[in-house]
Structure 1
Amino acid sequence: MSDEKLHKVLARSGVGSRREMERWIKEGRVSVNDAVASLGDRISEGDKVNVDGHPVNLIFDREATRRVLIYNKPVGEICTRHDPEGRPTVFRHLPPLKEGRWIAIGRLDINTSGLLLFTTDGELANALMHPSAQIDREYAVRVLGNVDDAMLQRLKDGVLLEDGMARFTDVQFFDGEGANKWFHCVVMEGRNREVRRLWESQEVQVNRLKRVRFGPLFLPSDVRSGTWKEMSVKEVNSLSKMLELKPKKAPRMSIADKQKLERRYKKQRARRQEGD
C-alpha cells in the first residue's frame, strides 16, 4: 500500500488548496491518528485524519476522480464559500457532490464577470494556478477614455504598479466607437485587480471587465451568465496531459444521476433565459 503526502491528500479530498493545507498543518489544525501532524507527513489508507477536530473522508490517488466545471460568473458574486455580509457567492449554483468539494481555480473580483473554473481535484487546481505553468488569461474590457497606439505599447512594455512591474502580453482593439471601446488583453499572472490597475495607470476608466479565456479553455457561448457546464472526460484528460498530469478515472455516474445532471443544467439555462 503506497503512502502520499498529507497536504496533497487533503487538497484532493476537497478540504482546501495545497497552500491552505500546508498552512493549516503548520498551525496545528490537522491530526493523524490522534497526533498533531507535521508538514511533510505521509499517510496511507488506514490512517485517520482530523481537521479542526472533525474527521475527513480521504480520497487517495488511486480512487480519485477529476471533474472540471466551466462557470460563467456574473457581476456581484464573490469567490468565497461563505460571506459574512451575506453577498451571493460563486458556489451557490454549483452541482452538489457526494464526496469532496468544488475547488475554485483562481478567482475574479466582485465586479468582474466571465470564465471561472472549478475542479474536484486539488492536484489539477494546483497545476493550473502555479506560476510555473505559465497559464495566460484573456479578458474583454470596455474602457472609457482616449486610447492610442503609444498607450497600448506602454501597456505591453510594462508599467510600474504599487506591487511591482506588470504588463499585458497582448492587447488588441476589438470593437466600439466614440469614448467607450472594447479591447482584448492578456496577462500571465493572477494578481489582484491587475487588468483594471494597468488600464487605470493610463488614466482611462474600466467600466466592463469579463474573462473569456483561461489558458486553453474559452468561455463557451452556450454557458450563460450564472450557469455552468461540465467538461467531458476526454476534455479533462486532454487538459491533464497538457499539464503533464496522469489521467484519472471517469466519475461513476448512474443513468439516473446523469439524467438529473442534464435536467439541472437545462433548468438553470431556462432560469437565466427568463431573466434576460
Structure 2
Amino acid sequence: MRQRAGSQHEVAVQKQLRAKRLTTEQVGEERLQKALAFSGIGSRRDMEELIAAARVSVNGKIAELGAKVKPGDEVRLDGKRVTMRWPDRLARVVLYHKQEGELVTRDDPQGRVTVFERLPRLTSSKWIAVGRLDFNTSGLLIFTTSGDLANQMTHPRFEMEREYAVRVLGELTEEQMTELRKGIELDDGPAKFTSIRAQGGEGTNRWYSVVLKEGRNREVRRMFEHYGLTVSRLMRVRFGALTLPGRLKRGQFYELSETEVLAVMKWAGLKLNGEAKE
C-alpha cells in the first residue's frame, strides 16, 4: 500500500486529506452505543443492553435506544461519569513490528511490556488493534482509530489473508504439505493453508511461508504440531494488503500518510469516515 512520496500532486492530496481530520469540537452527533463502544466501555451490543436497562444517562436524563451524543455532553453509566473518546473523520493507521515477549493488551497485571505503550499518544480517540499476535509471535501488527476498518479486516466473513514466515525443527513431506493445503482436522475444527511454500533452511531447521484466511488461537503452530513439528519462530509478514515494511525494526512503528490511509480505506471498501460504501 506504500505510495511514492515527494511529488507536488501527492503533497497537495495529503494536505487536502489532512484538512478532513476533525477537531473534537467539529465532530457531529454519534449514536450513543457506538460512542460508548469506541470509548472502550464494551461492545456495541453490550452498550445497547446497558441503555435498554436504563443504566446510561446523557446530560442528566436517562437515555433511550436510538439516542445520540456529541462532544460536550455529559454521559454517565450507573451514575459515574464516562470519559468519552471521539474518532477523527479520516482514520489513522499504524504498522508496528511486534517483538517476541510483548503483549497485545492495554494493561498487564504483571507489569510486562504491552504494544500499546510503543504507539503514538492520542488525545481524542484510541488505537484499536487489528487482530492479535500471541506472546511468542513477532511481526506485523496493525492499529487504527477506525473501528469499522478493524472490523472489516478481522471479521471471519471477509476471509482476510494472513501471511507468516515459520521456522520449524524438522521438515514436512510433499504429501503433508498437500494435506495442509486441502485441510486437516484440529481440536477446534478444520484448518488449512491457502498456500504453503518451503523456503529452505540450515541444519535441522526449515523455513516455510504460509498463508491462511483466519486467525484462531495458535492455529499456525498447531497445524505444524499436527505432524509432530515444533515451531521455533513465527513472524507475521502480511495482513491483507498491508505488508511489514522491510526497514521497520522490531519495536518500531510506521504511521501511514493520508494518501496511504485513503488507499487502505478504498481497498477495504470504506468511505473516508469508515462507513461502508453503498
| Interval of TM-score (by shorter of Structure 1 and Structure 2) | 0.7 to 0.9
Matched residue of 2:136: which SS?
coil
CA distance in 2, matches of 1:137, 1:243: 15
Distance in structure 1 (CA, Å) of the matches to 2:230 and 2:99: 20
Deviations 1:194-238 (A, max 9, x none): 100111011111000000000000000121000100011111111
Tell me if structure 1 keeps the 8 A contact 2:103–2:115.
yes
Residue 35 (structure 2) pairs with residue 9 (structure 1): yes
Unaligned runs of 5+ in 2: 1-26
Q: Tell me, yes or no, if structure 1 residue 211 matches structure 2 residue 236.
A: yes
Q: Secondary structure of the equivalent of 1:92?
A: helix
Amino acid at match of 2:49: K
Whether the aligned pair in 2 keeps the contact of 1:14 and 1:103 (CA below 8 Å) is no
Q: How does 1:167-182 map to 2 (within 5 A)?
A: 167-182=192-207
1:133/1:51 Cα in 2 relative to 1: closer, same or farther (>3 Å)? farther
For residue 46 of structure 2, what is the amino acid of its counterpart?
R
Q: Which residue of 2 aligns with 1:23?
A: 46
Which amino acid in structure 1 is aligned with residue 244 of structure 2?
Answer: L
1:149 aligns with 2:146: no
Which residue type is aligned with residue 171 of structure 2? N
Letter in 1 for 2:186: L
Partner of 1:252 in structure 2? none
Identical-residue share of aligned pairs (%): 42
Q: Does 1:234 align with 2:269?
A: no
The equivalent of 2:11 in structure 1 is none
Letter in 2 for 1:57: M
Aligned-partner SS, 2:134 = coil
Shift of 1:29: 9.9
Is residue 69 from structure 1 mapped to residue 104 from structure 2 by the alignment? no
Q: Report deviation, 1:85.
A: 1.6
Q: 1:99-157 deviations in whole A, cap 9, x for unaligned?
A: 11111111000000000001112121111111222211000000111311011111111
Matched length: 243
RMSD of the TM alignment (CA)? 2.5
CA offsets, 1:9-47, max 9 Å, x none? Answer: 334x4426xx73422543569613256667x53414375
Distance 1:127 1:32, change over 3 A: farther
Tell me how far apart the structure 1 counterparts of residues 226 and 76 of structure 2 sit (CA, whole Å): 47
Rate the CA distance shift 1:43–1:199 in 2: closer, same or farther, 3 A.
Answer: same
> What is the CA distance between 1:241 and its match in structure 2?
1.0
What code does the residue aligned with 1:8 have? K
2:81 to 54, 70, 88: 54
CA 1:209–1:221: 2 relative to 1, 3 Å: same
Superposition deviation, residue 55 in structure 1? 2.5
Indicate conservation of the 8 Å contact 1:171/1:183, yes or no. yes
Question: Aligned equivalents of 1:69 and 1:8: distance in 2?
Answer: 22
**Alignment partner of 1:158 is 2:176:** no
In structure 2, what is the Cα distance between the partners aligned to 1:30 and 1:73? Answer: 39
Q: Distance in 2 between matches of 1:2 and 1:93?
A: 30
**Superposition deviation, residue 91 in structure 1:** 0.8
Q: Which amino acid aligns with 2:225?
A: E
Distance 1:96 1:134 in 2: 31
Q: 1:69, CA displacement in angstroms?
A: 0.4
In structure 2, what is the Cα distance between the partners aligned to 1:149 and 1:37?
61
Mapped partners of 2:232, 2:35: distance in 1: 42
| Secondary structure in 1 matching 2:254 | strand
Gaps of 5+ in 1: 250-276
Aligned partner letter, 2:211: V
